[in-house]
Amino acid sequence: RSGTASANEDINVQIEDVTKVFQNDEGNDIVAVEDLDIDIRRGEFLVFVGPSGCGKTTSLRMVAGLETPTEGKIRIEDEDVTGYDPRERGIAMVFQNYALYPHMTVAENMSFPLRIRNYPSDEIDDRVDEAAELLEIDDLLDRKPSQLSGGQQQRVALGRAIVREPSVFLMDEPLSNLDAKLRVQMRTELNEIHQRVGKTTIYVTHDQAEAMTLGDRVAVLNDGTLQQIGPPQYLYDNPVNRFVAGFIGEPPMNFLPVSIRETNDGYDAVGEFFEFELPRDVVRDIDEWDGSLDHVTLGVRPEDLSNLSVLDHDEYTENSTLDASVKVVEPMGSDKFLTLTSPTDDTTEFSARVSPESTVAPGESISLAANLEKIHLFDERTGENIT
Ligand code: ATP
């Protein structure tokens, strides 16, 4: 498909080359967000994720109109809203402190944004009923917030946003006040609600698991700059750099220093206590790369290391194995999580998720096979993924 006009109809929110600079108390510049450029599609669930201070809240607040970009523009429905008030933007926000009015019933809380905008009362009733049904809180409408569970309160807060029928929902860590179990449950519910409502949603979280399960696309931020944006599984499988590789996935990817050595028919990755023969497509990537072959970091996810003793012989090659000492064993039911060290010195720690049938105990040695099709190589200096 070509032509920007028809393409634009599918775009709901545009963050155009946006930079935000704050001044701290000493008058120094703090670049909170730098050159952020993202088109958000109609109906898309986009998640901003990254560590504390990476700029995700500031990015959301600029879309909301609560911060003004130092440079760049925000467009909603193809209209430049950069100078508009939050109320003029057709957005609704849900924050972590969802602050329901304690003296109002659920119905009164939900109808509040419509009442202050002087909607006719029968339309208010219709919208509240519809949202309550959608959120499955229709039997709670006469209760006060104090008579609700945390999850129910969260749903009322969502309802208060939904009744306004905004074109975009903005959510900043809306689940962070809930306990761990409820968070996971509400995550699934949010997914379901989003599918039913179908509205563009921009969501901020520091929790990569939340980002992975909720996002149609995930935008990973670090230090105010976008590292990578894409569907969660794509980011998991194809991280552009070491930061994204280490941030997405739990337990995180292992990073081990290696140097790349040329062999008769390709390359080996030589580490402190292993030597892997690199697969053909990785060899091609190395040939096209002009960095230093002595300063490379090998990345391998814990689930891509398997216990040799429970593998069939055709599942691995000689040149994909390594020995390690077992430090900690954590049975998780579906698998066992091992904390390992190199056999020679116990300062290099890494981890593996192995089959629950693996019978290993702390202090023992173990032989592992790495799935070399799944490994990554990073430029040690820049962190760039070269595979
Ligand atoms: P968190 O998860 O901790 O909320 P975040 O990723 O949402 O972090 P932001 O709140 O967007 O990060 O902050 C980005 C950077 O901008 C931080 O260095 C922060 O200290 C700074 N910052 C944010 N708001 C202001 C402000 N009003 N004045 C000065 N600096 C600010």
> DSSP letter at 77?
T
pLDDT value at residue 328? 96
Which ligand 1 atom is nearest residue 172's CA?
Answer: 7
Q: H or E element: which one contains 203?
A: strand 200-205
Question: Which tens digits make up the pLDDT trace of 21-38?
Answer: 999 999 899 999 999 999
> Has residue 121 got a pLDDT over 50?
yes
Can you give the pTM of this predicted structure?
0.91
The verdict on residue 100 lying in a domain is yes
- Ligand 1 centre to CA of 53 (Å) is 5
- Ligand 1 centre to CA of 57 (Å) is 7
**Structure ipTM over 0.90, yes or no:** yes
Average pLDDT (171-191) is 87
Residue of the CA atom closest to atom 2 of ligand 1: 52
Residue of the CA atom closest to atom 27 of ligand 1: 22
Whole-angstrom distance, CA of residue 160 vs CA of residue 112: 8
> Has residue 327 got a pLDDT over 60?
yes
For residues 258 and 238, membership in a common domain is answered with: no
Percent of the chain topping pLDDT 70: 97
Residue 316, domain extent: 254-379
Which ligand 1 atom is nearest residue 67's CA?
Answer: 27
Q: Which comes out higher in pLDDT, residue 153 or 245?
A: 245
For residues 352 and 225, membership in a common domain is answered with: no
Mean pLDDT of the chain: 92
The CA-based dihedral angle spanning residues 175, 178, 182, 188, taken in that order and rounded to the nearest 10 degrees: 0
Average pLDDT (61-76) is 97
Average pLDDT (182-202) is 90
Average pLDDT (108-137) is 93
* Residues paired with 263 in a beta bridge: 266
Confidence band, pLDDT 50/70/90 cuts, at residue 6: very low
Whole-angstrom distance, CA of residue 110 vs CA of residue 132: 9
For residues 258 and 225, membership in a common domain is answered with: no
- Ligand 1 centre to CA of 56 (Å) is 8
- Ligand 1 centre to CA of 27 (Å) is 16
Whole-angstrom distance, CA of residue 355 vs CA of residue 309: 10
Whole-angstrom distance, CA of residue 166 vs CA of residue 63: 13
Whole-angstrom distance, CA of residue 184 vs CA of residue 53: 24
pLDDT value at residue 154? 86
Buried b (16+ CB within 10 A) or exposed e, 272-286: eebbbbbbeebbebb
Question: Which tens digits make up the pLDDT trace of 107-117?
Answer: 999 999 999 99
> DSSP letter at 274?
B
Which ligand 1 atom is nearest residue 224's CA?
Answer: 14
> Has residue 2 got a pLDDT over 70?
no
Average pLDDT (120-142) is 93
Q: Which residue has the tokens 């509040």?
A: 112
Pairing of strands 266-270, 321-331: unpaired
Average pLDDT (219-231) is 98
Residue of the CA atom closest to atom 5 of ligand 1: 53
Percent of the chain topping pLDDT 90: 77
For residues 69 and 211, membership in a common domain is answered with: yes
- Ligand 1 centre to CA of 70 (Å) is 15
Average pLDDT (304-332) is 87
Residue of the CA atom closest to atom 21 of ligand 1: 32
The per-residue DSSP string of 278-322 comes to PPHHHHHHHHT--S-TTSEEEEE-GGGEEEGGGS-GGG--GGGEE
For residues 291 and 213, membership in a common domain is answered with: no
The domain boundary residue, chosen from 227, 247, 267: 247
Residue of the CA atom closest to atom 16 of ligand 1: 32
What are the structure tokens assigned to 324, written together? 């390690």
pLDDT value at residue 8? 62
What is the distance between the terminal CA atoms of the chain, rounded to a whole angstrom? 30
The verdict on residue 302 lying in a domain is yes
For residues 237 and 268, membership in a common domain is answered with: no
Confidence band, pLDDT 50/70/90 cuts, at residue 71: very high
Average pLDDT (166-186) is 88
The verdict on residue 386 lying in a domain is no
pLDDT value at residue 87? 87
For residues 52 and 163, membership in a common domain is answered with: yes
- Ligand 1 centre to CA of 89 (Å) is 23
- Ligand 1 centre to CA of 299 (Å) is 30
Residue of the CA atom closest to atom 26 of ligand 1: 22
Q: Which comes out higher in pLDDT, residue 324 or 2?
A: 324
For residues 90 and 211, membership in a common domain is answered with: yes
Backbone angles phi, psi at 81, to 5 degrees: -105, 10
> Has residue 7 got a pLDDT over 70?
no
Q: Which comes out higher in pLDDT, residue 254 or 96?
A: 254
Please state the domain count of the chain: 2
Q: Which of 44-58, 66-80, 257-271, 300-314 has the lowest mean pLDDT?
A: 300-314
pLDDT value at residue 247? 97
pLDDT value at residue 9? 67
> Has residue 63 got a pLDDT over 70?
yes
pLDDT value at residue 344? 83
> DSSP letter at 119?
-
Q: Which of 7-11, 115-119, 138-142 has the lowest mean pLDDT?
A: 7-11
Alpha-carbon torsion (48, 387, 285, 270), positive or negative: positive
pLDDT value at residue 311? 77
Q: Which of 21, 24, 30, 171 to mutate to test the pocket of ligand 1 (most atoms within 8 A of CB)?
A: 30
For residues 170 and 202, membership in a common domain is answered with: yes
The domain boundary residue, chosen from 247, 265, 282: 247
The domain boundary residue, chosen from 212, 247, 282: 247
What are the structure tokens assigned to 143, written together? 């209760």
Average pLDDT (309-323) is 82
- Ligand 1 centre to CA of 174 (Å) is 17
pLDDT value at residue 345? 79
Question: Which residues sit with their C-beta closer than 6 Å to ligand 1?
Answer: 22, 24, 30, 32, 50, 52-58, 206
For residues 231 and 280, membership in a common domain is answered with: no
- Ligand 1 centre to CA of 50 (Å) is 12
pLDDT value at residue 374? 95
For residues 218 and 279, membership in a common domain is answered with: no
Confidence band, pLDDT 50/70/90 cuts, at residue 3: very low
CATH number at residue 208: 3.40.50.300
pLDDT value at residue 5? 45
